Amino acid sequence: MTTPPTYEASGVTAPRIAFVVYNDVHRDTRVRRIAKAAVDAGAEVRIFAFGGARVSQYAVGVERDDAGYEIERVPIASIGHVLVDAGQAVRRMLRRGRRASPQRPAGSSVQAAPAQQSPTAEGVPAIDPGPRAGEPAGPRGAKGWVITQWRRADRTVRQFSFWRNARRAVKRWNPVLVHTHDANTLRVATHVARRLRIPFVYDSHELWTHRNVSADRPVAKRLEGPMERRGARRAAAVITVSPSIAEWLQRNYSLRELPTLVRNIPPFDGRGPDPSSGRLHELAGLPADARVVVYCGGITFNRGIERVIEAVPHLAQGTHFVLLGEGTEVYVGGLRRLIERVGVADRVHFAGAVDSAAVSAALADADVSVALTQPTVLSYEYSLPNKLFESVHAGLPVITSNTKDAAAIVREYGLGQVVDPNASPVELAAAIESIVPDAARYREAARAAARELTWQHEAARLIDLHNRVLAESRAGRRAGRTPRS
């Protein structure tokens, strides 16, 4: 096991480190895992996120997490509810008008107009980096245009109000280092670093300017690249999640050094996976002898879920597909319709979600895991998805798409099969079936890989980087230099 890293002594018992993220941090496993690593290494940590009734289930204010860090959720403004409230008011008025209208003469008839669905509160999500590429289109015509423009305005209002309120909150807390997550928080970090004369670290969770959002964002597309370039070049250091993203950032932003790799890998408990701890058969209501192909993670677009559903009829009888995770009602509804069309309603199961720390244990009774991210955007082509490492730590053989970094991991460690992103249902089923005869060999490869691919190794690189940045900052202060910001 790796010796736990610690922060170097600097005249204070604990460096104060602020982490900034544009969500309510409830389900952000990476941010929480990094914050806990900093706490375990001896830092005083506070995560700055957002909260409030209109944007989150979590209230504004400061709370202390059991992991030892604090979370301060700042308020952000939102106008998304205004359109919803107006639509509901109009419907109430129309209902009252119908109740007050005189009865129609006998024999007269009227054809009921089809009900039109108005935007709901769920239609303006709390964490909204932009419409996802490939999502179903919303209402058309004038109504659709109004809703689209209103959502864009709401995203802008939320983002700018977060920048303002997070800046104030971080400055009040007075950290010695800011660790900022994704490009939509860089304006907070650059402002605070300049005012407090402290360094900041930029953590790129994905290839931000090539992520899976709609191309119909003319203003944002022009602003995001220059904003990220400026922030990344002013950062004391940059970290990211895959080798290809690191190379892209250095090449395209002319960074002084290659970003440090800190991948989204679970901690290793020293024992390895235990199939008896698996919960998929229980959650899906399956008999113990059922063969299980599992998908874990967000149930959403471009993850290859539809391809697996279409492959199920070509798998051996007794093989089931279980999805462990959550998705929107709209998307899951579309999957259910596909399941009915394919005729596999008795072989595809939605098992719900489990706590992020319990995912690998829950997966352990599966037979094969699928991580079929579709390279529809460059960020997906370069991704190293959490589900890949969670499956490895569960001791499972893996089927992955032939995307650059994920496929490299599967091939390097001999973890399973790599398939073409456009593989047919028959080809995908054949790849899954090919694993069964060699399941023991693949499981042993996964167990060996899990001992090497650990969060403990990633955390050591993270704390080493923080120590270097803090040491350079102290040296700069002694020499009278101001950190870049």
C-alpha 68/C-alpha 42 separation (Å) is 10
pLDDT classification of 97: cutoffs 50, 70, 90: low
| 137-156 average pLDDT score | 74
Q: Are 325 and 237 found together in one domain?
A: no
Q: Are 221 and 304 found together in one domain?
A: no
pLDDT tens for 222-251 read: 778 899 999 999 999 999 999 999 999 999
Residue 7 in any domain: the answer is no
Residue 106 in any domain: the answer is no
pLDDT classification of 275: cutoffs 50, 70, 90: confident
Q: Are 465 and 449 found together in one domain?
A: no
- What are the angstrom distances between the C-alpha of 54 and each of 51, 58, 85, 155, 326? 8, 10, 12, 13, 21
Residue 109 in any domain: the answer is no
Q: Are 324 and 417 found together in one domain?
A: yes
Q: Are 248 and 312 found together in one domain?
A: no
Residue 11 in any domain: the answer is no
Q: Are 187 and 292 found together in one domain?
A: no
pLDDT tens for 312-359 read: 999 999 999 999 999 999 999 999 999 999 999 999 999 999 988 899
**H/E run at residue 356:** none
Q: How many CB atoms lie within 10 A of CB 82?
A: 12
pLDDT tens for 364-394 read: 999 999 999 999 999 999 999 999 999 999 9
In CATH, what number is assigned to the domain containing residue 32?
3.40.50.2000
pLDDT tens for 180-205 read: 999 999 999 999 999 999 999 999 99
Residue 111 in any domain: the answer is no
Structure tokens at 26: 């409830």
Q: What is the dihedral of CA 93, 97, 99, 100, to 10 degrees?
A: 130
User: In what order do the strands lie in the sheet containing 398-401?
Assistant: 348-352, 319-324, 291-296, 368-371, 398-401, 416-419
**H/E run at residue 202:** strand 200-204
More confident of the two residues 102 and 115: 102
The pLDDT, as a whole number, for residue 102 is: 52
Q: Are 240 and 355 found together in one domain?
A: no
- Tokens 């579309």 belong to 334
The pLDDT, as a whole number, for residue 115 is: 36
Residue 45 has pLDDT above 90, yes or no: yes
**369 beta partners:** 294, 398
Residue 105 has pLDDT above 50, yes or no: no
Q: Are 242 and 301 found together in one domain?
A: no
Q: Are 252 and 352 found together in one domain?
A: no
| 402-410 average pLDDT score | 96
Q: Which domain holds residue 237?
A: 16-77+154-265+457-478
> Under a CB-based contact definition with an 8 Å cutoff, are residues 391 and 368 in contact?
no
Q: Are 257 and 308 found together in one domain?
A: no
The pLDDT, as a whole number, for residue 107 is: 39
Residue 261 has pLDDT above 80, yes or no: yes
Q: Are 463 and 362 found together in one domain?
A: no
Q: Are 413 and 471 found together in one domain?
A: no
Domain count, the chain: 2
